[in-house]
Copies of this chain bind each other. A is one copy, B any other.
Amino acid sequence: MSQKNNKNNQESEFVEIFNYAGIKPTEKRIAIFKGLKMAGKALSPYDLVQYCKQNLGLTLPAVSIYRILDLLVAADLVHKLDTVNKYICCTHIDCHKPHPHTQFLICSLCQKVEEVHMPAELMAQLSAQIQSHGYQLNSPQFEFQGICTDCQALEEEAASNA
């Protein structure tokens, strides 16, 4: 099977995902989604402009990126990380069902993002607490800031040198 076929398979996979999500699979939308998936980390809209230009040879105006990202977020194919104003590809795009609470761990130094799963019970307790204070969660998404293992190691190294 040639590279071209692999590529086409991937493209058609995206088309399928878009169709399932109920949004039209246009060239630009797929490119942005693909870029975000390829990048494997959270990107800002302007990061994506760069990424698409360098890695996909596609020059898009920032405005289009903003618009398309909004669309992808609304379709739940992409998550917006409010704490850092970046976007990340949903890891559940293959399981075609609404997914439960999503928790993101964001490294405040290198900005690496991990989508993790915490015990459902713990998240339920947390939600209950928040609701007991009168707040209704609008999205089942939590973002937590921390320092990832890599950056912890770097920090320790720097400290021992100083």
Say yes or no: is A160 at the interface (Cβ < 8 Å to chain B).
no
Give the size category of A's interface with B.
20 to 34
Q: Is A116 an interface residue (CB 8 A)?
A: yes
Assess A148 versus B119: contact at CB under 8 Å? Given A83-B82, A143-B83.
Answer: no
Considering the complex, give the chain B residue whose CB is closest to the CB of A108: B138
Cα(A142)–Cα(B116), bound, Å: 17
Q: Is A4 an interface residue (CB 8 A)?
A: no
Q: Contacting chain B: which of A22-30, A32-40, A91-99, A128-136? A: A128-136
The answer to whether B129 and A126 have CB atoms under 8 Å apart is: no
A122 interface contact, C-beta 8 A: yes
Q: For the complex, what is the distance from the CA of A115 to the CA of B107, rounded to whole Å?
A: 24
Confirm or deny: A161 has a beta carbon within 8 angstroms of a beta carbon on chain B.
no
Which among A105, A119, A122, A133 has the greatest number of chain B C-beta atoms within 10 A?
A133
Query: Residues of A with Cβ closer than 8 Å to B?
Result: 82-84, 105, 107-108, 114, 116, 118-119, 122, 125-126, 129-131, 133-139, 142-149, 152
